[in-house]
Amino acid sequence: MAEDKDGDIVPVPVPLPLPTGLELLDGDNKKLCEEVYDFFKTVPQGMTAFQISNFVLCNMDFPTPDSKYWQAKLELFVRLQGVIGSHYDHRKRQANIRLLKAKIEECFDKKCMAQKDYEKEMEDAKAEQFKIEIEENEFALMNITKQVSEKVAEMRTFRDEMNSLKDFLDHSTEDKEQQEEDFWNAKAEINPELKLRFPEVFDVSRQEYDNLARRTNRPGTGKD
Same domain as 109, residue 156: yes
Q: What angle do CA 139, 145, 4 make, to 5 degrees?
A: 140
Per-residue pLDDT at 26: 79
pLDDT at 4 over 50: no
Same domain as 142, residue 55: yes
Quote the number of domains for the chain. Answer: 2
pLDDT at 32 over 90: no
Same domain as 139, residue 213: no
Angle between helix 180-190 and helix 65-113 axes, rounded to 10 deg: 100
**Is position 57 within any domain?**
yes
Q: Taking the alpha carbons of 164, 170, 172, 176 in that order, is the dihedral positive or negative?
A: negative
Same domain as 145, residue 206: no
pTM, rounded to two decimals? 0.80
Q: Fill in the amino acid letter for 181.
A: E
Kindly state the average pLDDT of the residues 5-20. 52
**Confidence band of 189 (pLDDT split at 50, 70, 90):** very high
pLDDT tens-place string over residues 167-183: 999 999 999 999 999 99
Same domain as 139, residue 87: yes
Same domain as 224, residue 154: no
Same domain as 212, residue 148: no
Closest CA to 149 of 64, 44, 15, 57: 44
Its domain, for residue 205, covers 188-224
Question: Is the model more confident about 125 or about 3?
Answer: 125
Q: What does pLDDT average to over the chain?
A: 88
**Is position 12 within any domain?**
no
Same domain as 153, residue 98: yes
**Confidence band of 215 (pLDDT split at 50, 70, 90):** confident
**Is position 34 within any domain?**
no
Same domain as 161, residue 63: yes
**Is position 74 within any domain?**
yes
**Is position 13 within any domain?**
no
Per-residue pLDDT at 216: 79
How many Å apart are CA 15 and CA 30, to the nearest integer? 17
**Is position 29 within any domain?**
no
For the purposes of burial, counting CB atoms within 10 Å of the CB of 69, is it exposed (0-12), middle (13-18) or buried (19 or more)?
buried
CA 181 to chain centroid: 30
pLDDT tens-place string over residues 105-133: 999 999 999 999 999 999 999 999 999 99
**Is position 19 within any domain?**
no
**Confidence band of 44 (pLDDT split at 50, 70, 90):** confident
Per-residue pLDDT at 176: 95
Alpha carbon separation from 23 to 18, 33, 85, 188 (Å, rounded): 9, 10, 33, 59
Residues 6+ apart with CB under 8 A from 75: 52, 56, 154, 158
Secondary structure of residue 3 in the 3-state scheme: strand
Beta bridge partners of 9: 3
**Which of 134, 166, 198 is the last residue in one of the domains?**
166
pLDDT tens-place string over residues 46-93: 899 999 999 999 999 999 999 999 999 999 999 999 999 999 999 999
Same domain as 101, residue 211: no
How many Å apart are CA 45 and CA 36, to the nearest integer? 14
DSSP letter for each residue of 109-151:
HHHHH--SHHHHHHHHHHHHHHHHHHHHHHHHHHHHHHHHHHH
Same domain as 198, residue 150: no
**Is position 180 within any domain?**
no
Same domain as 160, residue 53: yes
